[in-house]
């Protein structure tokens, strides 16, 4: 089933990123793909390179994944993958755990080579937390520093910015619900615009 193929595609992209399997990660993306998230906006190929460079600097996160939901219409698939980004970081010598909850929306397309590949990833941020990793330790952070950031990704933005990964204020987050509604409308419209018959062995899904 195409829904299973799309689900495995998005899960494989995340696994490959976490495990450092960059050639397999790169094969998940279409040539004209776009990735938009907190610290990166650009092509899928550049995202793979930037991920490799980030890991080379010792900045490495893991992703705790929940089951994706997938809809397929002809040669187009749309998946939403809930996840938590986890970082083990140091703040003035104190170990801390940063956890950022978000959901990533994946557009996938079935190509002429009969393979599903990612054509777009868009991240929607929900909330995050920053806590000491060890009992009886304390993080010395000025609350005003964090208050300057948006609530949907304030800890993530604060940490990435201080480590040299610029994060803007215009990313999608649940603290701006009207923008989220427009994003879901865009994704639904893209899925409906498929003019290709359903992939063999699947039925064409209808949406209201």
pLDDT in tens, 46-102: 999 999 999 999 999 999 999 999 999 999 999 999 999 999 999 999 999 999 999
Structure tokens at 171: 């990313």
Beta bridge partners of 140: none
Query: What is the spatial distance between Cα 98 and Cα 72, in angstroms, rounded to a whole number?
Result: 34
Q: Residue 203 pLDDT > 80, yes or no? A: no
> Taking the CA of residue 130 as centre, how many other CA atoms within 13 Å lie in the half-sphere pointing to its CB?
21
Q: Is pLDDT of 200 > 70?
A: no
120 forms beta bridges with 34, 107
pLDDT of 196 reads 72
Smallest CA-to-CA distance from 165 within 18, 28, 6, 51 is with 51
pLDDT tier at 207, thresholds 50, 70, 90: very low
d(CA 77, CA 75): 7
pTM: 0.91
**Tokens found for residue 168:** 């803007």
pLDDT, mean over the chain: 93
Position 199 confidence tier, pLDDT thresholds 50, 70, 90: low
Three-class DSSP category at 94: strand
Work out the percent of the chain whose per-residue pLDDT is above 70.
94
2-192: CATH number: 3.10.450.50
CA distances (Å), 26 to each of 20, 54, 155, 182, 188, in order? 11, 16, 29, 29, 26
Nearest 5°: phi and psi at 133? -80, -25
Binning pLDDT at 50, 70 and 90, where does residue 8 land? very high
Beta bridge mates, 127: 101
CA distance 94 to 139: 7
What are the beta bridge partners of residue 81?
104
pLDDT at 115: 96
User: CB of 65 within 8 A of CB of 78?
Assistant: no
| Helix/strand/coil for 32 | strand
Among candidate residues 156, 124, 117, 100, the one with its CA nearest the CA of residue 34 = 117
- Supply the pLDDT for residue 195: 73
Domain residue extents for the chain: 2-192
- Measured distance CA(16)–CA(145) in Å, rounded: 34
């Amino acid at each position: 089933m195409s829904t299973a193929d799309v689900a495995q595609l998005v899960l494989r992209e995340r696994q490959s990123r976490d495990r450092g399997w960059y050639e397999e990660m790169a094969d998940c993306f279409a040539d004209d793909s776009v990735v938009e998230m907190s610290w990166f906006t650009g092509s899928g190929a550049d995202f793979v390179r930037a991920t490799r460079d980030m890991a080379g600097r010792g900045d490495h996160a893991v992703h705790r994944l929940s089951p994706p939901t997938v809809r397929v219409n002809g040669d187009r698939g749309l998946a939403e993958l809930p996840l938590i980004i986890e970082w083990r970081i140091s703040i003035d010598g104190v170990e801390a755990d940063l956890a950022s909850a978000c959901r990533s929306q994946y557009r996938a397309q079935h190509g002429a080579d009969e393979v599903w590949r990612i054509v777009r990833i868009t991240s929607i941020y929900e909330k995050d937390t920053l806590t000491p990793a060890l009992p009886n330790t304390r993080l010395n952070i000025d609350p005003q520093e964090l208050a300057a950031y948006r609530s949907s990704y304030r800890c993530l933005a604060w940490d990435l910015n201080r480590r040299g990964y610029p994060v803007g204020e215009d990313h999608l987050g649940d603290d701006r619900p009207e923008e989220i509604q427009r994003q879901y409308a865009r994704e639904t419209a893209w899925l409906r615009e498929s003019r290709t018959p359903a992939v063999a062995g699947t039925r064409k899904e209808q949406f209201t």
